[in-house]
Amino acid sequence: MIILTGKAVFGGITRGKLLFYHRDENIVSKTIVDNTEIEMQRYEYARSCALKELEELYQTAVSDVGERDAGIFIIHQMLIKDEEFDKTIRRHILSDRYSADYAVAKTARDYSHTLGEMGSEYIKERAADIKDISDRLIRHIQNKSQNRFEMSEKAIVCADDLVPSETVQLDRSKVQAFVTCYGSSNSHTAILARTMNIPAIIGVGKELLESYSGRDALIDGYGGAVYIDPDEDTCRAMERKQEEEGKKRELLKRLKGRKNITLDGTKIRLYANISGLDDVEQALENDADGIGLFRSEFLYLQDQRLPDEEFQFYTYRRVLEGMKGKKVIIRTLDIGADKNIKYFGLAKEENPALGMRSIRLCLTRPELFRTQLRALLRASVYGELSIMLPMITDISEIIRTRELIEETKAQLRARCQPYCENIELGIMIETPAAALLSDILAPEVDFFSIGTNDLEQYVLATDRQNLQLENYRRDLGHEALLRMMRIACENAKKHGIWVGMCGELGADLSLTEEFLRMGISEISVTPAQILPLKQKIRSMNLKEIK
Ligand code: PEP
Ligand code: MG
């Protein structure tokens, strides 16, 4: 038996086969062929498929995000059609007798190399575009229709690390657990694992070898241990642990339907954080009073293309209907940093967490934002919708968003499409600027929701993706973070708006009392964390002098 240990980010015990995640990098080896004619046909076919695909992507993007931002797909078409690029590939096939995929890969590599050596950032970005088009061409040459990691059966997914777009594209019904070499507990992949309700262990280190793929393993998501080829004693011990945990969960279930109220009568709303329609059932099963954070960006990460207005409208509507009149707070697109979307063609940034992300991106690509706002407004008639803006640092961002909302309403009126007039608009307090300016921001909005994941990283200067910094966050940082939170709470109170929180810290039961004392009236956590929080709240007495 081999034992590996890491940091447990979500509990649960499961047994299954380990399966290593393979990025869908195109594997191309140097191959010399006899029949160059066939290779030319393969190349021609792939070229026309890629051009057709790009034209379709362009057309969809034009209506969703406008002509300017859809332009990337035109650039990609131009690159494929570029005479020199095309000629070089053909020469490699006909003269060097390379296979079609190798001819494309070699041409792209040589081009990217030359571009990458140039000083200009703009030209360097074109190197990334060349990689993109060569991947597309090779995918067609190799007849791969999808860029996805396929799982034929249930397994424990292992990886060096996973980015959110990779995690969200996995077949949920087949993932028994996640184990990664790196990662941090506040990363979006860890957050997703919690929402998916499956055991997850991160930071196991390099000892997690790819050669373990296919081996039998027991995952202890409570203790953060991976047992490969477990012995009988371990299996029995894990069975016992699973039984004990099951009993605790059963006890918690008895709290379902009970009020979230402290012994002294303070009422708290306990909401769920979700990343898609699939999570609604879990939210209800765990007694959520509403949805405190629907991370809408996961709709954009699921596929290789933009979700159009209809798809978004349908999803938001189904979530609102599913919650049966309970409040649903949908956060507008919060993309950037670790949540990167290839098809957005975002420029490479030195510090993406401090970069062109989130509300900044939405306001610089208004067509993209308008599509989402239209879908949200149209869905608003199907339930109790609130809209929440991420990463706010300045009042102008709220004012501009309100203008866009008003423009969208006018558009819908002209189209005779219904929407609710009075939709609550709130902002996340997740930057120090928003907390410090909260007295100025409060009169502009209906509520605040404190995003401790980002607020913590910005206040404490601790990259939330970095596992090495976990101790700094916990042991040194709290007071600075709590002071920031108190500022926001005091200003919210002064201006008569409510304040909630939706970061991972909301589930830290050792801090619940602190949060309630500062005036937080809503806490939104992963569905599975709601009942423990309910138990904690019902046992507290805020009238007791500390
Ligand atoms: C946060 O920053 O606390 C938050 C809830 O948003 P996210 O984790 O998606 O950045
Ligand atoms: Mg955030």
Does residue 219 register a pLDDT over 60? yes
Token output for 161 = 């690390």
Q: Name the DSSP class of 286.
A: T
Distance, in Å, from the CA atom of 56 to the CA atom of 41, rounded to the nearest integer, reads 23
- In tens, the pLDDT along 456-477 reads 999 999 998 888 887 776 655 5
Residue nearest to atom 8 of ligand 1 (CA): 453
Distance 26 CA to ligand 2 centre (A): 33
Can you give the pLDDT at residue 19? Answer: 94
Confidence of residue 431 (pLDDT cuts 50, 70, 90): very high
237: which residues sit within 8 A by CB, 6+ positions away? none
Can you give the pLDDT at residue 241? Answer: 93
396: which residues sit within 8 A by CB, 6+ positions away? none
Residue nearest to atom 3 of ligand 1 (CA): 451
Distance, in Å, from the CA atom of 466 to the CA atom of 470, rounded to the nearest integer, reads 7
Does residue 68 register a pLDDT over 90? no
Q: What is the mean pLDDT of residues 410-434?
A: 97
Which residues hold their Cβ within 5 A of ligand 2, which is an ion?
Answer: 430, 451, 454
Q: Name the DSSP class of 473.
A: I
Task: Please give the share of the chain, as a percent, with pLDDT higher than 90.
Answer: 70
Burial readout 67-81 (b: 16 or more C-beta within 10 A, e: otherwise): eebbebbebbbebbe
Q: What is the mean pLDDT of residues 517-539?
A: 96
Q: What is the mean pLDDT of residues 272-280?
A: 95
- Pick from 486, 371, 372: which is nearest to 438 by CA? 486
User: Judging by DSSP bridges, how do beta strands 424-429 and 7-10 pair with one another?
Assistant: unpaired
Please indicate whether residue 416 is annotated as part of the active site: no
Does residue 11 register a pLDDT over 90? no
Q: What is the CATH number of domain 2-21+149-234?
A: 3.50.30.10
Can you give the pLDDT at residue 375? Answer: 97
Q: What is the mean pLDDT of residues 83-88?
A: 94
Give the 3-state secondary structure of residue 179.
strand
Can you give the pLDDT at residue 430? Answer: 97
Q: What is the mean pLDDT of residues 196-225?
A: 92
Which residue has better confidence, 68 or 437?
A: 437
Q: What is the mean pLDDT of residues 257-279?
A: 95
Angle 219-22-103 from CA coordinates, rounded to 5°: 175
Does residue 96 register a pLDDT over 90? yes
Distance 452 CA to ligand 2 centre (A): 7
Mean pLDDT of the chain: 90
Q: Which residue has the tokens 């060349």?
A: 130
Could you identify the atom of ligand 1 that is nearest to the CA of residue 452? 3
Q: What is the mean pLDDT of residues 358-378?
A: 95
Catalytic residue among 92, 140, 188, 478: 188
Does residue 126 register a pLDDT over 80? no
Task: Please give the share of the chain, as a percent, with pLDDT higher than 70.
Answer: 95
Q: What is the mean pLDDT of residues 406-420?
A: 97
User: Judging by DSSP bridges, how do beta strands 424-429 and 447-450 pair with one another?
Assistant: parallel
Highest mean pLDDT among 58-72, 142-156, 330-344, 358-372: 358-372
Pinpoint the alpha helices (H) of 82-99. Answer: 83-94
Question: pTM for the complete prediction?
Answer: 0.80
For the chain, how big is the Rg over CA atoms in Å?
25
CB 292 within 8 A of CB 522: yes
291: which residues sit within 8 A by CB, 6+ positions away? 271, 272, 273, 274, 280, 283, 319, 323, 326, 327, 328, 329, 330, 524
- In tens, the pLDDT along 316-329 reads 999 999 999 999 99
> In sequence order, what are the beta bridge partners of 429?
450
E strand residue ranges, 68-214? 155-159, 175-180, 200-202
Residue nearest to atom 4 of ligand 1 (CA): 451
Give the 3-state secondary structure of residue 302.
coil
E strand residue ranges, 211-314? 216-220, 225-228, 269-274, 290-295
Residue nearest to atom 9 of ligand 1 (CA): 295
Say how many C-beta atoms besides its own lie within 10 A of residue 94's C-beta: 14
Q: What is the mean pLDDT of residues 361-371?
A: 94
Instruction: Tell me if domain 36-141 and domain 262-538 are identical in fold.
Output: no
Does residue 289 register a pLDDT over 60? yes
E strand or H helix at 316 = helix 309-322
Query: Using a 6 Å CB cutoff, which residues line ligand 1?
Result: 191, 293, 295, 334, 430, 451-454, 502-503
Does residue 203 register a pLDDT over 70? yes
Q: Which residue from 271, 295, 458 has its CB within 8 A of the most atoms of ligand 1, so it is best to mutate?
A: 295
Angle 162-304-312 from CA coordinates, rounded to 5°: 105
Give the start-to-end residue ranges of the domains of the chain. 2-21+149-234, 36-141, 262-538
Residue nearest to atom 6 of ligand 1 (CA): 451
CATH fold group of domain 36-141: Enzyme I; Chain A, domain 2 (1.10.274)
Say how many C-beta atoms besides its own lie within 10 A of residue 259's C-beta: 12
Distance, in Å, from the CA atom of 327 to the CA atom of 539, rounded to the nearest integer, reads 25
Q: Which CATH architecture has domain 262-538?
A: Alpha-Beta Barrel (3.20)
Ligand nearest to the CA of 452: 1
Q: What is the mean pLDDT of residues 342-371?
A: 89
Distance 361 CA to ligand 2 centre (A): 14
Does residue 338 register a pLDDT over 90? no
Distance, in Å, from the CA atom of 159 to the CA atom of 153, rounded to the nearest integer, reads 17
Phi, psi of 510 (to 5 degrees): -70, -15
Q: What is the mean pLDDT of residues 168-195?
A: 86
User: How many residues make up the chain in this entry?
Assistant: 546
Does residue 223 register a pLDDT over 70? yes
- In tens, the pLDDT along 140-164 reads 998 876 556 778 899 999 998 888 8
User: Judging by DSSP bridges, how do beta strands 155-159 and 13-20 pair with one another?
Assistant: parallel
Which residue has better confidence, 357 or 165?
A: 357
Does residue 80 register a pLDDT over 80? yes
- In tens, the pLDDT along 291-302 reads 999 999 999 988
Q: Which residue from 294, 428, 429 has its CB within 8 A of the most atoms of ligand 1, so it is best to mutate?
A: 428
Distance 255 CA to ligand 1 centre (A): 28
Q: Which residue has the tokens 């009042």?
A: 395
Counting Cα atoms < 13 Å in the Cβ hemisphere of 414 gives: 7
Measured CA distances, 353 to 356, 431, 436 (Å):
8, 11, 19
Distance, in Å, from the CA atom of 229 to the CA atom of 373, rounded to the nearest integer, reads 51
Can you give the pLDDT at residue 184? Answer: 83
Distance, in Å, from the CA atom of 295 to the CA atom of 503, rounded to the nearest integer, reads 12
- Pick from 191, 244, 199, 246: which is nearest to 218 by CA? 199
Distance 457 CA to ligand 1 centre (A): 10
Q: What is the mean pLDDT of residues 104-118?
A: 85
| CA-based torsion, 322, 162, 362, 445: positive or negative | positive
Give the 3-state secondary structure of residue 144.
coil
406: which residues sit within 8 A by CB, 6+ positions away? none
Distance 391 CA to ligand 2 centre (A): 7
Please indicate whether residue 181 is annotated as part of the active site: no
Confidence of residue 310 (pLDDT cuts 50, 70, 90): very high
CB 141 within 8 A of CB 43: yes
Does residue 346 register a pLDDT over 80? no
